[in-house]
Amino acid sequence: MSSGWSSSTRPARGKGIKPIIGCDLWLSNEDDRDNPYRILLLAQNYQGYLNLCELLTRAYRSNQYRGRAEVLKAWFAEVGSDGLIALSGAHHGDVGQALVADHVAVARRLAREWAALFPGVITSKCSGWAAGDDGRCGCGTGGDACRPGVAVGRRVGIAGGGDASGAIPET
């Protein structure tokens, strides 16, 4: 019997391609269920793949809202984050939303919580997906929310580059 991990990665690796397995997830916003947050999880290894599968299964079986399977933040402590890399969701994540609302103290608290759940493998920075000629970020926050996000990330030990490629080991 072959797992999804090996059956998905073996052909790619055989051609010199290092596949990335992950999922862009809805994260329940317990204060406003109609506006969930986002988080991207990447599997570093087989254990991360198993943890990701467990989170997705729980979401689909026990926490659907308006047809959306949502992960609860508390599940990360229960399932564990071994083998997972978390990308904070930029301005769509809970930390980013706190920064957009200018709630820096809340953003710091949330960033520390994520750093405790994902020690050394969470990034917290705007993606900068549409930077204009003036160099300002085009994430929809006007660029100003990105700078405190980097500062918060650095203060609590979360990477500030939005690049987790170095965190994925060659295997």
pLDDT tens digit sequence for 63-73: 999 999 999 99
Query: What pLDDT score does 66 carry?
Result: 95
Q: Which fold has domain 21-127+134-164?
A: TIM Barrel (3.20.20)
How confident is the model over 81-138, as pLDDT tens digits? Answer: 999 999 888 889 998 899 888 888 898 899 889 888 988 665 554 444 333 344 444 4
Query: What pLDDT score does 153 carry?
Result: 54
For the chain, give the percent of residues with pLDDT over 70: 65
pLDDT at 51 over 90: yes
Q: pTM value? A: 0.71
Domain ranges of the chain: 21-127+134-164
Q: What is the DSSP string of the chain?
A: ---HHHHHHHHHHHTT----EEEEEEE--TT-TTS-EEEEEEESSHHHHHHHHHHHHHHHHH-EETTEEEE-THHHHHH--TTEEEE--GGGSHHHHHHHTT-HHHHHHHHHHHHHHSTT-EE-S---TT--TT----SSS-STTHHHHHHHHHHTT-BSSS--GGGS---
